[in-house]
Amino acid sequence: MYDIFITHAWRYHDDWIRLSNLLDAEKSIKWRNFSVPWYDPALDPNTELGAKAVRSWIDGQIRPVIGTVLLDGVYAVKSARVWLELEVELSRVHMKPVVALPAHGTDTVSVVAAALADAIVGWNAVDIVKTLESLAASRSPV
């Protein structure tokens, strides 16, 4: 069973849905999606208390995963970057590998997203999971 966090900005972006569906469709992989793009709208992330609650919520989603998939298509949305950068930051805090995935229909990842990632993978479920697994294993204490 692979627990995976997919970057998001508090809503279901098309690439988030595509990746979830791609991983679900791959019969050789059992995975759980630890990225829930929802939060209480009563929380204002622009306040100290709201920002702390949102950070804690994301931290709880990232802590147990094997790794994080950084969706370049979502990162391209300027208003989403602050959230994705927080998700990458928390992945780093917990020593979780980050793999970047190009926007659907493209072959390349932006220079900025590539710099945030440990590896770049294409839209292949097995490659994504195996890359996360390999990177995670290299970080595990022996």
Task: Report all structural domains of the chain as residue ranges with CATH numbers, in order of start.
Answer: 2-139 (3.40.50.9200)
Q: Which two tokens stand for residue 5?
A: 């966090």
pLDDT (tens digit per residue) in 52-97:
888 888 898 999 999 999 999 988 888 778 888 999 999 999 999 9
Helix (H, G, I), strand (E, B) or coil at 11: coil
The residue type of 92 is R
Helix (H) or strand (E) holding 31: strand 31-33
Q: Which two tokens stand for residue 42?
A: 């009563």
Contact 89, 55 (CB under 8 A): no
pLDDT (tens digit per residue) in 38-57:
656 677 777 888 778 888 88
